Amino acid sequence: MDVNHSGTDDAVKGMLAKLSTLWKTRAAVNQPQPDYWGLAFDANKNDFSHSLLPFRNHQAWLEAPKDLQSKCMSYAWGIYNLKTIYIECNVVVPACEDIIKTPPQSHNRALLQDVMSQALLDEALHTRMSIMACNYIYDMRQLTPLDFSAFNLVTWREALLANCTAEWERRLTRFGIACASETLITDYLKTMAEDSTIQSVCHEVTRTHAMDEWSHSSVFSFVATDIVNGLTRKERLYLRSIILRTVQMFANNEMGAWARVFDMLGLPNGNEILHDVGDNNEISVYTDSLEALVNRIGLAGNGLESAEQAVEQLRERASA
């Protein structure tokens, strides 16, 4: 049975209109860009935040030669940017295109197309920024660029879509993964955006990206709220399950990419690190944002279990 959310329609319309109007001044990458490449390069600074390394406390890593540690930190920047590129191109852009090409039945149809077309432009600029930032570090460090494509979130999404049996499932899968990703990325970016100890160009590029993703989190949330208003209970349960499952893939350590890096560098005891660390990162970094998202877009209550219950079940599955 559908739940009538007409009381929220005006509020959603107002926020979508506001986000659309503010886009020209809100979108950081849509402004004249600072000369990032003119920033001083400090060879003694790390190119990535050490606290985000999945193996930062592993004894084999702590005992690795300093020059190899430095190169690994540079490749961490490469992995982060390459994964960002794949998420922007393969996850977020298709969700934007769905809304632009065939918007849902809604009083806010034109506004949905407008804000998603703005987000689409932002993502194209983020992709370009990530390519440039990644290659800049490779050039300055004289490193062979990493060639890797099997990022877990992307491959999991492809498998999930292949198993969908209806078009509504495919659309909600594409949108749910993108919506969750645009929310969860803000937690990840926050660390580097506030870490002034890393390479200046890495800090500034990440800070610019973070500014836009904080806004995109709002855009996708209000678009999601509008979409959820028109869903059946079955569809809402499905969308919520996709969003909850996305956090496990988003928190993946991407050890496949690290295996490639360790092999390229000949890191001593690299296989030991890969074996001991495994794929699953600590999802608690993201659960507060996830819980807030589920509540905010209307996927809790009204016959559905609470966001707190859903997230607790997620934690239990992750620790099992």
Q: What is the pLDDT of residues 225-255, one digit of tens each?
A: 999 999 999 999 999 999 988 887 877 889 9
- SS3 category, 6: helix
Instruction: Report the sign of the C-alpha dihedral through residues 121, 127, 132, 136, in that order.
Output: positive
Q: Assess if residue 173 is contained within a domain.
A: yes
Write the CB contacts of 33 (distance below 8 Å, at least 6 apart in sequence). 208
* Identity of the residue numbered 231: L
Kindly tell me if the per-residue pLDDT of 211 is higher than 90: no
Whole-number percent of the chain with pLDDT over 90: 48
Cα–Cα distance for residue pair 250/83, rounded to 1 Å:
10
* CATH number of the domain bearing residue 184: 1.10.620.20
Q: What is the mean pLDDT of residues 42-66?
A: 94
The dihedrals phi and psi of 210, each to the nearest 5 degrees, come to -60, -40
What is the per-residue pLDDT for 283?
64
Q: Which two tokens stand for residue 111?
A: 């506004």
pLDDT band at 315 (very low <50, low <70, confident <90, very high): low
Kindly tell me if the per-residue pLDDT of 215 is higher than 80: no
Kindly tell me if the per-residue pLDDT of 29 is higher than 60: no
Q: Assess if residue 114 is contained within a domain.
A: yes
| pLDDT tens digits, 31-41 | 666 566 677 78
Higher pLDDT, 165 or 7: 165
Please name which of 58, 52, 15, 29 lies closest in space to residue 121, comparing C-alpha atoms.
29
What is the per-residue pLDDT for 162?
97
Please name which of 43, 38, 265 lies closest in space to residue 140, comparing C-alpha atoms.
43
Q: Is 100 exposed, middle or buried (0-12, 13-18, 19+ CB in 10 A)?
A: middle
Kindly tell me if the per-residue pLDDT of 309 is higher than 80: no
Q: Assess if residue 298 is contained within a domain.
A: yes
Q: Assess if residue 54 is contained within a domain.
A: no
What is the per-residue pLDDT for 137?
94
| Straight-line distance from the first to the last Cα atom of the chain, in angstroms, rounded to the nearest whole number | 34
Q: Assess if residue 48 is contained within a domain.
A: no
User: Is the Cβ–Cβ distance between 54 and 257 less than 8 Å?
Assistant: no
| pLDDT tens digits, 250-278 | 778 899 999 999 999 999 999 999 999 98
List b or e across 58-90, with b for residues whose CB sees 16 or more CB atoms inside 10 angstroms: bebbeebeeebbbbbbbbbbbbbbbbbbbbbeb
Whole-number percent of the chain with pLDDT over 70: 80
User: Taking the CB of residue 307, how many other CB atoms lie within 10 A of it?
Assistant: 21
pTM for this structure?
A: 0.85
Domain span at residue 81? 6-27+59-319
pLDDT band at 3 (very low <50, low <70, confident <90, very high): very low
What is the per-residue pLDDT for 4?
43
Kindly tell me if the per-residue pLDDT of 281 is higher than 70: no
Q: Assess if residue 42 is contained within a domain.
A: no
Kindly tell me if the per-residue pLDDT of 155 is higher than 90: yes
- SS3 category, 45: coil
Q: Which two tokens stand for residue 115?
A: 């804000």
Cα–Cα distance for residue pair 271/178, rounded to 1 Å:
33
**Number of domains making up the chain:** 1
Q: Assess if residue 52 is contained within a domain.
A: no
pLDDT band at 141 (very low <50, low <70, confident <90, very high): very high
| pLDDT tens digits, 70-113 | 999 999 999 999 998 999 999 999 999 999 999 988 888 998 99
The dihedrals phi and psi of 148, each to the nearest 5 degrees, come to -155, 140
Cα–Cα distance for residue pair 236/2, rounded to 1 Å:
10
Q: Assess if residue 37 is contained within a domain.
A: no
Please name which of 72, 47, 75, 74 lies closest in space to residue 61, comparing C-alpha atoms.
72
What is the per-residue pLDDT for 67?
96
CA distances from 256 to 45, 68, 145 (A): 26, 18, 16
| pLDDT tens digits, 64-76 | 999 999 999 999 9
Q: What is the mean pLDDT of residues 293-302?
A: 82
Kindly tell me if the per-residue pLDDT of 6 is higher than 50: no
Q: Please state, rounded to an integer, the average pLDDT across all residues of the chain.
A: 84
